[in-house]
């Protein structure tokens, strides 16, 4: 029996999976843990894992699989009491597992998530991508209960999962938001502690960032079609308001960064126009999904 089961879904992660797994296996953590990688790649990701990390429980799927379905497969194979999740493009802090263990033990949390920092020195578009995607979960954010924390840095007690509480399997992205809001709606709580930290490897060029934000926008729209309690679900009923969303999201981002520090506020103001461009890509993806024919 393991204390922790770490689950990582992968798809064509050859460039980052080695660094991700290395960071996990150098943890200053004395308890027993297992690492489960659920892979559906068509590149050399599984070969890298087999060669460099034979201790990993590698589950290979025949076709590309949504992350929600991959996470559910991982949970079904997990032998630990605590299910910890991260992503193939993340580098975890050396005290990651010990921090999670200490906080969950001392406070008896059902779910705890942590902050996301930026890995290495970002390009202009890498920094903007980081701000747009993770500003709510930066290390400067306050510790408090939240309705959602991304699955690149979150831990659940295994006992909370059931036939009703599981990740949706038909989502390309935003499956973690649907899962976490449903979990909170069922009476559970998610605590966000910024001291529990992972680093995220951000996309560094404009084309990749725009494409990813379009993809996230599509997933966000699908999530709001599915779950009416999500913030912004009113857009399903009043889709004309999508045209205002890039400006609203920009203002909310600037407000959030201003609450962290003057330096981040200055950066947000200087980068307002390119940030708006990225937010427009998100909204185009959102609209694309909203008006897609069934």
Q: How large is the average pLDDT for residues 248-270?
A: 97
Residue 135: which H helix or E strand, with range? none
Which two structure tokens, joined as six digits, stand for 272?
A: 């307002």
Q: Would the pLDDT of 43 be above 80? A: yes
Q: How large is the average pLDDT for residues 71-98?
A: 96
Predicted pLDDT at 214:
97
d(CA 153, CA 87): 8
Q: Look at residue 156 and give its three-state secondary structure.
A: strand
What mean pLDDT is reported for the chain? 94
Span of 1-5, 144-148, 205-209, 246-250 with lowest mean pLDDT:
1-5
> Which residue spans of the chain are classified as CATH 3.90.550.10?
2-203
Q: What angle do CA 153, 184, 171 make, to 5 degrees?
A: 65
Q: How large is the average pLDDT for residues 191-205?
A: 96
| pLDDT digits 0-9 by tens, 136-172 | 999 999 999 999 999 999 999 999 998 788 999 987 7
Global confidence as pTM: 0.94
Which two structure tokens, joined as six digits, stand for 124?
A: 């202009």
Predicted pLDDT at 38:
98
Predicted pLDDT at 292:
79
Predicted pLDDT at 251:
97
Q: Would the pLDDT of 106 be above 90? A: no
Predicted pLDDT at 243:
94
d(CA 33, CA 196): 17
Fold of 2-203: Spore Coat Polysaccharide Biosynthesis Protein SpsA; Chain A (3.90.550)
CB-based contacts of 132: which residues, under 8 Å, 6+ apart?
213, 249, 253, 275, 278, 279, 282
Predicted pLDDT at 154:
98
Q: How large is the average pLDDT for residues 30-49?
A: 96
Predicted pLDDT at 293:
66
Under a CB-based contact definition with an 8 Å cutoff, are residues 176 and 150 in contact?
yes
Strands 80-85 and 154-157: antiparallel
pLDDT classification of 294: cutoffs 50, 70, 90: low
Predicted pLDDT at 162:
84
Predicted pLDDT at 108:
86
Q: Would the pLDDT of 175 be above 60? A: yes
Predicted pLDDT at 120:
82
Q: How large is the average pLDDT for residues 274-288?
A: 96
Under a CB-based contact definition with an 8 Å cutoff, are residues 222 and 177 in contact?
no
Predicted pLDDT at 185:
92
Q: How large is the average pLDDT for residues 104-117?
A: 93
């Amino acid at each position: 029996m393991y204390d922790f089961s770490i689950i990582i879904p992968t798809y064509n992660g050859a460039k980052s999976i080695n660094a991700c797994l290395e960071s996990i296996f150098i943890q200053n953590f004395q308890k027993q843990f297992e690492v489960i990688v659920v892979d559906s790649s068509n590149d050399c990701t599984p070969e890298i894992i087999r060669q460099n990390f034979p201790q990993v429980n590698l589950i290979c799927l025949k076709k590309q699989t949504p992350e929600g379905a991959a996470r559910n497969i991982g949970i079904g194979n997990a032998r630990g009491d605590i299910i910890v999740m991260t992503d193939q493009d993340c580098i975890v802090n050396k005290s990651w597992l010990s921090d999670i263990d200490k906080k969950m033990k001392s406070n008896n949390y059902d779910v705890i998530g942590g902050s996301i920092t930026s890995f290495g020195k970002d390009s202009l578009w890498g920094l903007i991508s980081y701000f747009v995607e993770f500003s709510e979960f930066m290390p400067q954010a306050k510790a408090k209960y939240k309705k959602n924390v991304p699955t690149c840095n979150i831990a659940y007690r295994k006992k909370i999962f059931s036939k009703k509480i599981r990740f949706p399997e038909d989502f390309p992205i935003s499956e973690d938001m649907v899962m976490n809001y449903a979990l909170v709606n069922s009476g559970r709580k998610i605590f966000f502690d910024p001291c529990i930290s992972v680093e995220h490897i951000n996309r560094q060029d404009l084309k990749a960032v725009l494409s990813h934000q379009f993809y996230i926008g599509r997933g966000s729209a699908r999530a709001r079609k599915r779950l009416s309690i999500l913030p912004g679900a009113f857009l399903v009923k009043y889709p004309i308001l999508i045209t205002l969303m890039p400006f609203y999201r920009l203002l909310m981002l600037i407000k959030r960064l201003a609450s962290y520090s003057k330096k981040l506020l200055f950066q947000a103001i200087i980068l307002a126009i390119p940030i708006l461009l990225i937010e427009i890509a998100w909204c185009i993806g959102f609209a694309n999904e909203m008006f897609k024919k069934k």
